[in-house]
Amino acid sequence: MKKSLLAVAVLGAFAGAASAQSSVTLFGVVDLSANSIDNGGKTVKSLQSNQLNSNRLGFRGTEDLGGGLLAGFWLEMGMNNDTGVAGGSNSLAAPASGTSLFNRRSTVSLTNRMGEIRLGRDYTPSFWNTVFFDTYGSNGLGQFNNLVNTTLGSTSGTYARANNTIGYFLPSGLGGIYGQAQVAAGESVSGQKYMGGRLGYAAGPFDVAVGYGKTKTSSDDLLVYNVGGSFNFGFAKVFGLYNIVELGSTKLKTYGISGSMPMGQGEFKAGYTATDGQGNKVAGVMNPDNARQWSVQYIYNLSKRTALYTGYASVDNDGAANYQVLGNGYSAAGKKSSGYNFGVRHSF
């Protein structure tokens, strides 16, 4: 009995020492909504994940190595809780495609006063502006990225995330300046070799940043440029974003303005986005990719972790454009796509 108590005491001492130097956190989001979507006159009702925030389950941790040096890891998977599916595509061909458990992020890092070095599957810096400078982030019926063709027909799979990355992040305390640079090894796979960066300045209610990315494809390089900004007036926050995706002579320009306004325990959001295709022809018609989107959303916070929400969005397509507020298996080419939803989100 005494030996057992001694063993427990020794293990407790080691556990205490470990917890003083390192920490591991379990986190996640569960988001599910009921949606009614009409694409080109075909209406489908369904349950969908990720319509307020992206579903995720993750583990992250840090260890203090002394002298201001920290080691860290981040493992994060996506989830579709309407069907119970975890993980997802990593933009690679079979058999690797769809077998990625931690498809959202899988990184290890070292950080000190000079900044952070991060390795693994991660978000691309050219993607972040389309998240931070749109009131919807990258989720829901009215998101900016609904009107962005992320590949222009190429084999690129690096618009949002890239595999095999090495990234560097500037340290904090630079007078409001922030930024990052990233390269990704293609490993002889077309559309996987990437390089890009992001540089911004934030002070008080003001935030602005520029981003750039280049992906090597089997034809031309796929280029992404963007600039975004936001200003918090207190009673409302306004966002502006301009994004260009370019492949050879084909170019897609998308711009958007959006905003949010707190209303007691709730929040009202609205946005307008337009896209303009240049340099490509379909059936002899120039610029078939033009489209316009407008949207509204209301969120009611039951607590800091749980919220109810509802929203509506509509896209008007020109020519052969086929942008949709949410896919439902039917084409909206040259037609209207619209829909509404009601959902609940819980984070932990």
* DSSP codes of every residue in 230-254: EEE-SS-EEEEEEEEEEETTEEEEE
**Assigned domain for 224 exists:** yes
237: domain range?
Answer: 40-347
Q: Report the DSSP beta bridge partners of residue 339.
A: 37, 313
In a domain, 16, yes or no: no
Average pLDDT over residues 188-217: 97
Q: Is a pLDDT exceeding 50 seen at residue 171?
A: yes
pLDDT band at residue 5 using 50, 70 and 90 as cut-offs: very low
Rounded distance between C-alpha atoms, residue 145 and residue 326, angstroms: 11
Tell me how crowded residue 237 is: count the other CB atoms within 10 A of its CB. 19
Q: Mean pLDDT over residues 173-191, rounded?
A: 96
Domain count, the chain: 1
Residue 75, domain member (yes or no):
yes
Percent of the chain residues topping a pLDDT of 90: 82
The pLDDT of residue 127 is above 90: yes
Count, in order, helices (H) and strands (E) of the chain. Answer: 2, 21
| CB-CB contact of 216 with 231 (8 Å) | no
Is pTM beyond 0.95 here? no
Cα angle, residue 179 at apex, residues 177 and 181 outer, rounded to 5°: 155
What is the reported pLDDT for 288?
A: 63
Instruction: With respect to residue 103, please indicate whether it lies within any of the assigned structural domains.
Output: yes
Angle of CA points 152, 157, 160, to nearest 5°:
95
Interior angle at CA 213, CA 217 and CA 220, nearest 5: 25
Instruction: Please report whether residue 284 resides in a domain.
Output: yes
